[in-house]
Structure 1
Amino acid sequence: MFTLSRRSPALLLALAGLVIAGCGDDDAGGSAASGADRIDVVATTTVLGDLVREVGGEAVDVTQILQPNSDAHDYEPRPDDVRDTAGAQVVVASGDNLDRWIGDVVEQSGSDAVTIDVSQQLKVRLPGESEGEEASKHDPHWWHDPRNTETAVEEIRDAFIKANPGARAVYERNAIAYIAKVKALDTGIAECFAAVPARERKLVTDHDAFGYFADRYDITVVGAVIPSQTTQAQPSAGEVAELVRTIEREDVKAVFPESSVNPKLAQAIAKQTGASAEYTLYGDSLGEEGSPGATYLGMEQANADAMVKGFTGGSGSCRVPGI
């Protein structure tokens, strides 16, 4: 369930005005809303946008709120988000407070869309933050375990079928094909890390976003530049000094910046400790079109490749056939 955050009266009035204006448009809801073969879907994050397009195919029109390399942790909804949501039949949210702002967007849009929080049915769960604005029972970075992504795809498929029964065959066929690719990705990444000695699989990232990935592939999380699951936290001087000592003590070979986080502190720590900082990970967001992390499958293969290279000093790599 989403909790609506507090907003200023001026913002609420402005958003309401946009919804009223949109309702007066002759094309409100779009042709997909009236046709039996397409539905309008809003996805909050880049990962969900990719999954929604894979499952929906030509039977969905997708509005993706977050854009590549953006940070869900500090996102503030725009009037356009409210307007786009007003005509949606389905809203797909990531959950665990990562995109907690979607509750405001749906509320202010006046939409009667079905909102699904894919985190509710996931099979693999890790503990979340215990305090702060983004405190949640579970770690919100669930997609870094492909088994959770399989579950999310099934949830999306079922929501689409319920909203648009006439396209059931499309959604079922697409979901089966995509889940097969996710399973192949999972198997391939596991094989890549099995070739790296366990003592070398030591991970230091920009923030604590890779717990699921590390847990799935038997990687030791040594620490994070921002010692939190949210990028909104700030490390203290003492925490940075302790991380430096840990990296040196554990002989960590690489510190991994993230595509959606300022890399300067990670690079400085790497320079101070003699570790590499040349391999970037995709944590909270997919990369731009044309980048290795432009899709979910590409993102996780790119992450595995970067980690293997970092762990092995560049002597190893990871390529999953067919991905």
Structure 2
Amino acid sequence: MRRALLLAPVLLAAAFVAGCGTGDSSSARPGAIDVVVTTTQLGDIVRAVGGDAVDVHQILKPNTDPHDYEPRPKDIQATAGARLVVVSGDNLDRWMGDVLDNAGGHPAVLDAGVGRPVTLPGEDTGPEASRFDPHWWHDPVNVEYATARIRDALAEADPHATAAIDAGAEAYLAKLRTLDTGIAKCMATVPVAQRKLVTDHDAFGYFAKRYDIDVVGAVIPSQTTQAQPSAGDLAKLTTVIRREGVKAIFPESSINPKLAKAIARETGATADHTLYGDTLGPADSRGATYLSMMVANADAMVHGFTGGAQGCSVAGL
């Protein structure tokens, strides 16, 4: 009920903006498929697959937290005129249901990650409880699956653009396979006993499973950043870090690093290597695209695991 009340003034503003003709739709390319996506990762993937055949309105911006979103008038307006809406699923972007309900229109809606081949359990309790861990994009195999689903949804939205969309998808799938192979080679250079991961929140389970990394703990012991660690949680994490000989704690780009850095100081670990967890970075950052974000994360981890002795780069991307 509270969410619906909050949306009321936003909807009025959206109607005013639409009436004035100043919305995003005025810049859309003639004939392009109007697509609304929720997350930065999905925006990048849809643009890579669709190319000139798509005009993408991306709701979340770089370095913003998907767990903490409030609708804006232009998001509602764009959704009202969209032919396709792509969501990430598993309650990561559950707020999109309210946007869809209030925007009207009749877009096709694709949950890009549903049915993915690699799944990890979600959390049973908390503000964003879900059946599966919602951070599925940290495994490139899942992104290959999502890419195929996005390709099919775009082709269905505009059958005349199928050839271009298929070509974009094939090129992107080849890059995903190169990415996966390259990161695996990087991690293979680090002894398994040194691959001990502590992050700001529990967002990297898929990455860890794919590349045989031991998740020791997280500053926020939850898959959502909306949770808050207790003093007991932090004391327990500090003990585990010391016992396991963890060399690095990895802050995340969209979360205040204050707690991660405080724990690093207390335990003697470093907190110098930032990861992209829930979001891509801005255009001028190492995490500007999904592919570069994954390489940046792998590079940061290898540096952290090895005390700065090694890094990671992937050729061919």
**SS class of match (2:226):** coil
- The answer to whether 1:91 aligns with 2:103 is no
Pick one of 199, 202, 208 that aligns with 2:202. Answer: 208
Q: Which residue of 1 aligns with 2:3?
A: 7
Q: Which amino acid aligns with 2:188?
A: A
Moved more, 67-76 or 208-217: 67-76
Give the whole-Å Cα distance in 2 for the aligned partners of 1:42 and 1:8.
21
Give the whole-Å Cα distance in 2 for the aligned partners of 1:8 and 1:314.
49
How many residue pairs get aligned? The number is 317
The change in CA–CA distance for 1:100 and 1:270 in structure 2 (over 3 A counts) is: same
TM-score between the two structures when normalised by the length of structure 1: 0.94
Give the whole-Å Cα distance in 2 for the aligned partners of 1:280 and 1:206.
10
**SS class of match (1:305):** helix
Give the whole-Å Cα distance in 1 for the aligned partners of 2:24 and 2:241.
53
Q: Which residue of 2 aligns with 1:139?
A: 133
Kept in 1, the 8 Å contact 2:46–2:150? The answer is yes
**SS class of match (1:7):** helix
**SS class of match (2:67):** helix
Q: Which amino acid aligns with 1:177?
A: A
| Displacement after TM superposition at 1:16 (Å) | 4.0
The change in CA–CA distance for 1:250 and 1:278 in structure 2 (over 3 A counts) is: same
Pick one of 222, 232, 243 that aligns with 1:249. Answer: 243
| Displacement after TM superposition at 1:178 (Å) | 0.3
The change in CA–CA distance for 1:199 and 1:291 in structure 2 (over 3 A counts) is: same
Query: For the aligned residues, what is the CA RMSD?
Result: 1.9
Q: Which residue of 2 aligns with 1:123?
A: 117
| Displacement after TM superposition at 1:85 (Å) | 1.1
| Displacement after TM superposition at 1:80 (Å) | 2.0
Q: Which amino acid aligns with 2:91?
A: N
Q: Deviations over 1:125-159 (max 9, x none)?
A: 00001101200000000000000001111111111
- The answer to whether 1:317 aligns with 2:311 is yes
- The answer to whether 1:227 aligns with 2:246 is no
Kept in 1, the 8 Å contact 2:200–2:255? The answer is yes
The change in CA–CA distance for 1:237 and 1:298 in structure 2 (over 3 A counts) is: same
* Pairs within 5 Å for 1:107-118: 107-118=101-112
Kept in 2, the 8 Å contact 1:141–1:210? The answer is yes
**Residue ranges of structure 1 left out of the alignment (5+ in a row):** none
**Residue ranges of structure 2 left out of the alignment (5+ in a row):** none
- The answer to whether 1:217 aligns with 2:211 is yes
Pick one of 57, 67, 73 that aligns with 1:73. Answer: 67
**SS class of match (1:61):** strand
Identity %: 61
Kept in 2, the 8 Å contact 1:32–1:38? The answer is no
Kept in 1, the 8 Å contact 2:23–2:77? The answer is no
Q: Deviations over 1:289-320 (max 9, x none)?
A: 11110000000000000000000000011000
TM-score between the two structures when normalised by the length of structure 2: 0.95
Q: Which residue of 2 aligns with 1:240?
A: 234
The change in CA–CA distance for 1:308 and 1:33 in structure 2 (over 3 A counts) is: closer
| Displacement after TM superposition at 1:50 (Å) | 0.3
Kept in 2, the 8 Å contact 1:66–1:72? The answer is yes
Give the whole-Å Cα distance in 2 for the aligned partners of 1:167 and 1:283.
33
| Displacement after TM superposition at 1:29 (Å) | 9.1
**SS class of match (1:184):** helix
Kept in 2, the 8 Å contact 1:43–1:63? The answer is yes
Give the whole-Å Cα distance in 1 for the aligned partners of 2:214 and 2:95.
32
Q: Which residue of 1 aligns with 2:12?
A: 17
- The answer to whether 1:43 aligns with 2:27 is no
Q: Which residue of 1 aligns with 2:298?
A: 304
Q: Which residue of 2 aligns with 1:265?
A: 259
The change in CA–CA distance for 1:13 and 1:233 in structure 2 (over 3 A counts) is: closer
